[in-house]
């Protein structure tokens, strides 16, 4: 997923688009190191587990039971897509940008194939 996300950051750098993460890793220190090493430039809420066998409060409120769980939200804050992956994710973002009257940038190549 990281390479795809980095390609989204690159492709949609000049249009109103943002990746936001909710990170449920237990160890905040190691996840800070990982985002630097792997060049994950988007912002994440830190949402570590609040007890054994539970996710953090945000993931719990959003009833997340599998990771990654993803949403695409439009510019008005309305949930428009859930768990779309790969090309369908690009298409979803393209469609919502087009609804805003934004000129949609052409696709870019994914770089690197690290884990996830």
Partner 1 sequence: MNGTLRFVTALFALLLLAAPNLSAQGEPAGGDEVTPSEIRARYEAIAGDFESRMKAFQDAFAELKTDEERRQHYEENYPDAGAIALPLLALAKEHPQVVGFEAVEWAMDNRVGGPARKAALELLAEHFLSDPRIADMLWNFAYDIDANTGSLLRAVMKTSDDEKTLGIAHYAFVKHLQGQVSFARYYTDAEETEKTQMAEYFGEETIASLTDLDSAAVERECESLFAKIVESYGEIPSMRGSDTLGDIAGRDLFELRNLSVGKQAPEIEGEDLFGSTFKLSDYRGKVIFLDFWGDW
Does residue 54 touch partner 1 according to CB under 8 A? yes
Answer yes or no whether residue 22 interacts with partner 1 by CB under 8 A. Answer: yes
d(CA 106, CA 36): 27
Angle at 88 between CA 2 and CA 65, to 5 degrees: 60
d(CA 113, CA 116): 9
If the CB atoms of residues 1 and 39 are measured against partner 1, the closer one turns out to be 1
Residues that bind partner 1 (CB under 8 A): 1, 5, 8, 12, 16-25, 28, 30-32, 34-35, 43-47, 51-54, 57-64, 67-82, 89, 93, 96-97, 100, 116
């Amino acid at each position: 997923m990281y390479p795809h996300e980095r390609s989204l950051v690159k492709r949609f750098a000049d249009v109103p688009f943002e990746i936001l993460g909710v990170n449920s890793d237990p160890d905040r220190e190691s996840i800070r190191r990982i985002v630097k090493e792997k060049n994950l430039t988007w912002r994440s809420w830190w949402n570590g587990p609040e007890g054994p066998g539970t996710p953090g409060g945000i993931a719990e409120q959003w009833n997340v039971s599998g990771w990654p769980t993803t949403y695409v939200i439009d510019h008005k804050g309305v949930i428009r897509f859930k768990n779309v992956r790969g090309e369908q994710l690009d298409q979803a973002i393209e469609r919502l940008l087009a609804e805003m009257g934004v000129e949609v940038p052409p696709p870019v190549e994914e770089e690197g194939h690290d884990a996830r």
